[in-house]
Amino acid sequence: NFTINNTSNSTITVATGDTLNVNGTLTLTDGEIVTGTIAAKGAVVSIGAGFGLANNASGTLLVNGAGVQTVSITPQTTATFEVVDQLTINNTDATVQGTGTTGRIGLDKITLTDGTIDFTGYTLDANEAVSSADVFTLGSGTNTFTGTTAPLTITAGTFDAGTGTPVFGGAFSISAGTF
């Protein structure tokens, strides 16, 4: 098991190009990943409201374990706060979801290669490119994709905009799958 619980604006640095593999439960309570990659291999990833990017960092959270993985993200209260710079999901049995019943989830770049992202009941602010090749479900709020160059690319799977309003900062691309 691995827990990051630093004071606000404390940073975690994994050397650029390196990966820290976490085989057990990964708990991200407070702090931010500045560079490098943390690969969650365990069954549970918990991300608290105090964890994320207040600065322009470039860290990656990679969810690519074997078997069932659940990533629970506590909604943030600050509009400019992002959980991680890059969230990559590459496990068919992984599910990314919010905790509680409503709120705002801010992410920068999202790559869903394999797995499920279910933000039903939440508002998503995706500040850069989002790529989806599996099941991506949005909530009932205004879901914003503000990247100006291909803010959303769907290459396979199902993208469900939910009952909310998706707002795109640029043209989006669908080459396969269902929108």
Which tens digit of pLDDT belongs to each residue from 91-105?
Answer: 999 999 999 878 888
Alpha-carbon gap, residue 74 to 97, rounded angstroms = 9
Whether residue 76 contacts residue 103, with contact meaning beta carbons closer than 8 Å, is answered with yes
Q: What token pair was written down for 88?
A: 């990559």
The distance of Cα 15 from the centroid of its chain, to the nearest Å, equals 21
Alpha-carbon gap, residue 85 to 60, rounded angstroms = 6
Spans of the chain below 50 pLDDT: none
Per residue in 64-90, pLDDT (tens digit) is 999 999 999 988 766 666 778 889 999
pTM: 0.90
Q: Which residues contact 56 (CB under 8 A, 6 or more apart)?
A: none
Alpha-carbon gap, residue 87 to 45, rounded angstroms = 12
